[in-house]
Copies of this chain bind each other. A is one copy, B any other.
Amino acid sequence: MHQDTPESAESAFYVAFEARDLEAMMAVWAADAAIACIHPLAAPLTGRAAVASGWRSIFNAAGQFSMRVERVHEIRMADLVIHVVHEFLSIGQEIEPRPPIQATNVYRREADGWRMLLHHAAPLQVGRTSTARAATQALH
């Protein structure tokens, strides 16, 4: 898939994720040894071998699922773009989507297109978006 914009790179990422296609997934990522992938509640996987191994485990463990992605924020620079997205997963026969995952995705412009540098996914507790409530319930 061509990744001539950050948006097409992001689209390729989620298509590969939903398809559980390891080769397509790793084509989204930069060749950079410093790439980092953080799955919810886990420590970072860094470098292509570890990142690939993480996705392999996830794809092997996962049954059929579908995913809807909503972009909630963008920081756009000439050669680097950061997206914050909410991922809504529906697994197997579940009718109700699960609580969303919030991810920060960083893409960099490379010679041959935009590639992912970092994916940091973490739980987002629904209904806890108010600053004041978040502040009083969790120091940080």
Contact = CB atoms under 8 A, between A and B. Distances in A.
Interface string A105-121: 01010000000011011
A1 interface: no
A41 B134 contact: yes
A104 interface: yes
A140 B124 contact: no
Contact of A89 (B53, B60, B139): B139
Contact of A40 (B62, B121, B138): B138
Given A82-B106, A120-B104, A140-B121, A75 B135 contact: no
Contacts of A27: none
A75 B33 CA distance: 9
Interface string A42-60: 1111100010011001101
Given A117-B82, A136-B61, A129 B42 contact: yes
A19 interface: no
A58 B136 CA distance: 7
Contact of A42 (B36, B39, B128): B128
Interface of A: 17, 32, 34-36, 38-46, 50, 53-54, 57-58, 60-62, 65, 72-77, 80, 82, 84, 87, 89, 91, 101-102, 104, 106, 108, 117-118, 120-125, 128-129, 131-132, 134-136, 138-140
